[in-house]
Amino acid sequence: MRVARRDSVLSHAVLVLASLIAVYPLATIVVRALGGADGWTLANFAQAWTRGSFASALLSSTVVAVSVVVLTSVVATLAAFAFTFLRVPGAKIILGLLLVGLVLPYEVTVYPLYEMLSGFGLIDTYWALILPQVGLSVPLGVFWMNSFLGTLPMSLVEAAYLDGASRRQVLGSIIAPLARPAIGTMATLVFLFTWNEFLLALVLLPQNEAVQTAPLSLSFFSGAARATDPAVTAAAAVLVAAPIILFYVLLQRRLISGVVDGAVK
């Protein structure tokens, strides 16, 4: 009993220490952003919001992230359904190619992507970010959904076919409701990855400020204001990070439950 209590105390102490280490940088930035000559103030946030045009940047990030999440979820779910419950010629080869796309460092694809998208006239448009990030997210989505759907009993699908259900009905009425936790978790992960993407935005959206995402706008803003207004720069960082932190806080239970459900099944 004493050993178990000691282990519990030690585990909690380690978790508290790790939490403090993780929260310290964010807390430092928030304190710096709220600091002013006369005490706490929100003036730095107002200046950052106005001078950095973050309303447009946050809107661009939202458009890109939501589009990538929706397209990835649809493509990954359909592909995983086909790989799991249908006979797909060359399925193992296709999954192997997707695995290559999953482990290949995407930095090596930036220049080819720029050349290809430039030839299509898509540079400095939303599509310049949406299409590559869908391509980068689909391998993860397919493996995630394929792993989950593989745990479902084949008898469910066979019974539905015997009752006269079509493939569309099986997918929409049976598979999709059962896979909702896995789809929600995958969508959350893809949203987080997409929102924080910087390199592709830097290369593929170099000129058009109207479609530049929040991380890219923050980089340009901080480069110009860091030396003169560090408090305003900190406020800009908080403005960019706040939506994704709020998104995670609201959906953390769904994210954790989806991961746990997938592990248990």
Residue with token string 């103030």: 41
CB 141 within 8 A of CB 73: yes
- The answer to the question of residue 165 being in a domain is yes
- The answer to the question of residue 8 being in a domain is no
- The answer to the question of residue 57 being in a domain is yes
- The answer to the question of residue 178 being in a domain is yes
pTM: 0.84
CA distance 53 to 210: 10
- The answer to the question of residue 41 being in a domain is no
The one-digit pLDDT tens for each residue of the chain (265 residues) are: 555 677 677 888 888 888 888 888 888 888 888 877 677 888 888 888 888 778 889 999 999 999 999 999 999 999 999 888 888 888 888 888 888 878 888 788 888 899 999 999 999 999 999 999 999 899 999 989 988 888 888 888 888 888 888 888 888 888 888 888 888 889 888 998 999 899 899 899 878 888 989 998 888 887 765 556 788 888 888 888 888 888 777 776 666 665 555 444 4
How many separate domains does the chain show?
1
- The answer to the question of residue 256 being in a domain is yes
CA distances from 233 to 35, 193, 196, 207, 240 (A): 12, 23, 18, 22, 11
Number of neighbours of residue 223 by Cβ within 10 angstroms: 10
- The answer to the question of residue 46 being in a domain is no
Token pair in block for residue 105: 């460092």
CB 47 within 8 A of CB 229: yes
CA distance 15 to 6: 14
Question: What's the domain range around 157?
Answer: 51-216+240-264
CATH assignment of the domain containing 197 = 1.10.3720.10
Q: Where are the alpha helices (DSSP H) in 150-179?
A: 154-162, 167-169, 176-178
Q: Where are the alpha helices (DSSP H) in 35-165?
A: 43-52, 54-85, 91-103, 110-119, 126-149, 154-162
CB 244 within 8 A of CB 188: no
